[in-house]
Copies of this chain bind each other. A is one copy, B any other.
């Protein structure tokens, strides 16, 4: 019990689900929401963009750092970013949630509240889910998106001569993680900590990029160098990034870097989870985007000011990378 709230074990799966879905609003793309064997979502242009991300407690979030609502927001936001990175708009989310039987129903509701709030901000709906018992929290979110007739913007289309540009901010999430790990973060740094707990992808800019003729696009989930590396490999080009163009990100993190003794470049170039978008434009960079470098002929690699960067390679999913904390 937490206060007068029952646990998941006391309440049981179906009464908990009834609580989770009661009174939620759905957008008009949701033709049938939670409550039957499956949901029904409108895919007006005859296609669905689809992606999945799984978040594991202790690996992708900590419940002593994040509120359940923040976990819910983060899970929705990072999935939405994958849809944005195709030049599409998220329309619907389905959620697999595993948690211990002793989890309070209030925490489960707060997780769902965060998901619904973030989805609503996107004009999308949480249309279905599954609730099961697990040793630790695990949140698996699948997102559907709508291209509205556009061609998807792949990672493989970047051509020499294109301008690389970013929508959204870089390095905030990694800085916030370091501040949380080091127990630093009152006052000025509270916002950076929040950025780690709930990323703020540049919603809507994926469609802007597609409409502006972006040749290739991806979201920065593992780190700018790492994710541009995927784009460079898929496009068989070299991506050359300019540190001068990233100076605003560096500057925003300089005092946090000094506070924890870290090099802000490692956050800007190597830090993931901000879910900024990076794209290659053959012509002018649209509003909301800022140029950060160029696509050039050469082997599939990422250069910083023309040289190989020797910093951190970005997030790794298995233990060669660093788990929390």
Interface residues, chain A, CB within 8 Å of chain B?
Answer: 8-9, 12-13, 31-32, 35-56, 59-60, 82-83, 85-86, 88, 92, 94-98, 101, 127-136, 138, 140, 142-145, 147, 152, 154-156, 217-219, 234, 316-320, 323
Write out the residue numbers on chain B whose beta carbons fall within 8 Å of the beta carbon of A13. 316-318
Known: A37-B85, A56-B133, A133-B323. A51 touches B318 (CB 8 A): no
Q: Is the CB of A32 within 8 A of B152?
A: yes
Known: A318-B133, A319-B133. A36 touches B86 (CB 8 A): yes
Q: Is the CB of A138 within 8 A of B134?
A: yes
Known: A82-B37, A132-B56, A317-B12. A142 touches B145 (CB 8 A): no
Write out the residue numbers on chain B whose beta carbons fall within 8 Å of the beta carbon of A320. 9, 12
Indicate how many identical chains form the complex. Answer: 2
Known: A49-B39, A142-B52, A145-B38. A136 touches B135 (CB 8 A): yes
Write out the residue numbers on chain B whose beta carbons fall within 8 Å of the beta carbon of A136. 135
A47 to chain B, nearest CB (A): 6
Q: Is the CB of A316 within 8 A of B50?
A: no
Q: Is the CB of A50 within 8 A of B132?
A: no
12 new A-B contacts, CB < 8 A, other than A37-B155, A52-B95, are: A13-B317, A32-B152, A37-B218, A38-B82, A42-B47, A44-B46, A50-B142, A52-B94, A54-B96, A101-B319, A134-B138, A138-B140
Q: Is the CB of B48 within 8 A of A41?
A: yes
Q: Is the CB of B9 within 8 A of A128?
A: no
Write out the residue numbers on chain B whose beta carbons fall within 8 Å of the beta carbon of A155. 35-37
> Measured between alpha carbons, how far is A235 from B283 in the docked complex, in Å?
58
Write out the residue numbers on chain B whose beta carbons fall within 8 Å of the beta carbon of A144. 48, 50, 144
Write out the residue numbers on chain B whose beta carbons fall within 8 Å of the beta carbon of A316. 12-13
> Measured between alpha carbons, how far is A137 from B241 in the docked complex, in Å?
39
> Measured between alpha carbons, how far is A100 from B38 in the docked complex, in Å?
30
Set B8, B35, B40, B142: member contacting A142, Cβ < 8 A: B142
13 inter-chain pairs at a CB distance below 8 angstroms, sorted by A residue, are A12-B318, A36-B218, A37-B85, A37-B218, A39-B51, A42-B46, A45-B46, A53-B96, A54-B97, A59-B132, A59-B133, A94-B142, A131-B317
Q: Is the CB of B152 within 8 A of A54?
A: no
> Measured between alpha carbons, how far is A42 from B132 in the docked complex, in Å?
30
